[in-house]
Amino acid sequence: MQGRQDSGYDPRDRSSGKLLAATNGYDSGKQRAIPQRPPGMPRVEHPPQKTRIARPQRQSKPPKSLWRRLLFIALIFVACAVIAGIIGFALVNYFTGIGNSAGAANTATDFMLALKSQNYDQAYNNDLDAKITISVTKDEFKQMALADDHCFGLVTDFNEVPGSAISSNNDSTQSYTYNVSRTKLTKTYPLALTLQKGPDGNWDITSYGGDLGPSAPTCK
């Protein structure tokens, strides 16, 4: 029996063709059917809008008027000027007072050192004011000092009494008190000096209490 000739058709080829057509969306020349939406599911025409949070707006500071700024700056300058003036005035008075006290103290110390060294000419010429020298000559001053030395002994030491320095309101006069030691005395005695500032700025002694000793000498 004559066998059936192979016509070249293979059922597997048909199955493969259908599968390829279904994959490409076509089946026998027709477009693939769109899957149906399940029943009860609402239809969404547009995607839901996202809620956007507004960015906080920076609040602008109210502008200050120009005249207020200028007034504030002017007040600062005035306050600084007043403070600087007060400080300057205080410093000038402070250093002026220091300079006056130093000048007066130097003259008083120089006078006391001259007495201690028995240099009475120097004490008379350099430290005494014209208010004294116009009424007391150099020889008279020297004789008075020698009489005190003879009765009370030579000056061996002197110390300023604490708190005794007193100046006038206008700083034109200054006074000091010293405790003076002499060889023939068992205790010290006070010697007060008053000084005045002259027109040339120098300090001179205008008073030493009338005598350089504890009292007027009475011994022979």
Domains and CATH numbers, the chain: 82-207 (3.10.450.100)
Structure confidence by residue, pLDDT tens digits, 3-52: 444 455 455 554 455 544 445 444 455 556 666 667 766 666 666 666 66
Rounded Cα distance between 184 and 111, Å, is 21
Picking from 179, 148, 175, 173, the residue whose alpha carbon sits closest to that of residue 164 is: 175
Confidence grade of residue 57 (pLDDT, cut at 50, 70, 90): low
Alpha carbons within 13 A on the beta-carbon side of 143: 5
Secondary structure (DSSP) of 134-181:
TTS-HHHHHHHHHHHHHHH--EEEEEEPTT--EE-TTS-EEEEEEEEE
Cβ contacts of residue 123 below 8 Å, gap of 6+? 110, 111, 114, 115, 141, 145
Which of 19-28, 48-57, 78-87 has the weakest average pLDDT? 19-28
pLDDT of residue 207: 95
As a whole number of Å, the end-to-end CA separation of the chain is 195
Sorting pLDDT into bands at 50, 70 and 90, what band is 72? confident
In which band, very low, low, confident or very high, does the pLDDT at 87 lie, cut at 50, 70 and 90? low
Give how far Cα 113 sits from Cα of 20, 74, 132, Å.
136, 58, 19
Backbone angles phi, psi at 39, to 5 degrees: -65, 140
The pLDDT value given to residue 217: 87
What's the pTM value of the predicted model, to 2 decimals? Answer: 0.55
**In the predicted structure, residue 64 carries a pLDDT above the cut 90:** no
What is the pLDDT averaged over residues 193-199?
Answer: 92
Residues 203 and 104 sit within 8 Å (Cβ to Cβ): yes
